[in-house]
Amino acid sequence: RAWVLIEDEEETVTVSVRDEGPGIPEGRLAEAAAQGRLGVAQSIRGRVADLGGEVRIVSAPGAGTEIELVVPRSHG
């Protein structure tokens, strides 16, 4: 199961995706990027950064994962 929450705030839009899966071991995402596997680094973090936003990932083995994508709202 996964939960998705969208917060439409005055200056930003935040999309949170959370699950209760096995989690991501500490250092695993950095290790994958160092090995040239750039899925999270480029597909998620890179694209959100291109929009002027940021990605927060909170995860621990056995405790699931929460990913927040925060991007500025377009005023135009």
pLDDT of residue 55: 93
Q: What is the 3-state secondary structure (H, E, C) of 2-69?
A: EEEEEEECCCEEEEEEEECCCCCCCCHHHHHHHCCCCHHHHHHHHHHHHCCCEEEEEECCCCCEEEEE
What's residue 52's pLDDT? 94
Q: Supply the pLDDT for residue 7.
A: 97
Q: Tens of pLDDT along the chain (76 residues)?
A: 899 999 999 999 999 999 999 988 888 878 887 887 767 766 788 889 999 999 998 988 888 999 999 999 976 5
Per-residue pLDDT at 38: 67
- Domain ranges in the chain? 2-72
CATH class of 2-72: alpha beta
The model carries a pTM of 0.79
pLDDT value for 75 = 63
